[in-house]
Amino acid sequence: MNKIERDPSFSSRFRKLFEFATMSEVGKRLNVPHATVRNYYHGRLPAPDILIKIANETGVSLTWLLTGSGEMYPTAAGGRDLGRALESLIESIVDRRLAEIERDKKKPAKSTLGFDLDVAVRRHNDPKLILNEWYEFEGLKAPKDFGVVFFRGWETFTTDEKVEAVRDARRVLDRSKKK
């Protein structure tokens, strides 16, 4: 039976090399399946051709990648300038962050990570003000008509019921905007 060789120190170097990237991004960059990248994150050593591909793609020293000794990135005398390597890394981090910002702008209303609906309900206790604030927070234009049906009996709702009523109204409003 073949035993898969695992090296936790390789795993930590691999994580360091791709620290800001998701496993999916690493897989695309190296042109290997996500599951293969996951194995590397869990300590499995790549095949020699993949090790060379990692070194070529990232500019990392093969010696450092395999053993942890020496410089992570070779100096200019070794073929790659450290400044260029850092510049490339910074550029990829900035590009990734800008892409995240663009993705966040297009996220559906289900994702309310940034807007604290509970706080807004306690602060305003007015569903129209809450929805206006929520849309404004996301940089969107609020609809003119919110549909009163969600808010009948608002004064009798508990805080949790108010939060759910606003969430339900938001879902319906967003769906009707898409049509």
Please state, in angstroms and rounded to a whole number, the distance separating the CA atoms of residues 137 and 110.
14
Q: Using one digit for the tens of pLDDT, what is the confidence trace for 97-108?
A: 887 777 766 655
For a pLDDT cut of 90, what percent of the chain falls above it?
2
* Domain 8-105 is found in CATH 1.10.260.40: yes
Q: What are phi and psi of 6, to 5 degrees?
A: -120, 140
The widest CA-to-CA distance across the chain, in whole angstroms, is 75
With tokens 């549909």, the residue in question is: 147
Q: Which two tokens stand for residue 21?
A: 């990237």
Q: Whole-prediction pTM value?
A: 0.41
Q: Using one digit for the tens of pLDDT, what is the confidence trace for 16-62?
A: 888 878 888 888 989 988 888 888 888 888 888 888 889 888 888 88
Report angle CA 71, 54, 100 to the nearest 5 degrees: 100
Contact 17, 65 (CB under 8 A): yes
With tokens 């981090």, the residue in question is: 93
Please state, in angstroms and rounded to a whole number, the distance separating the CA atoms of residues 17 and 29.
13
Mean pLDDT of the chain: 80
Contact 116, 158 (CB under 8 A): no
Q: Which two tokens stand for residue 78?
A: 């070794």
What are the residue boundaries of the structural domains of the chain, listed by start?
A: 8-105, 117-178
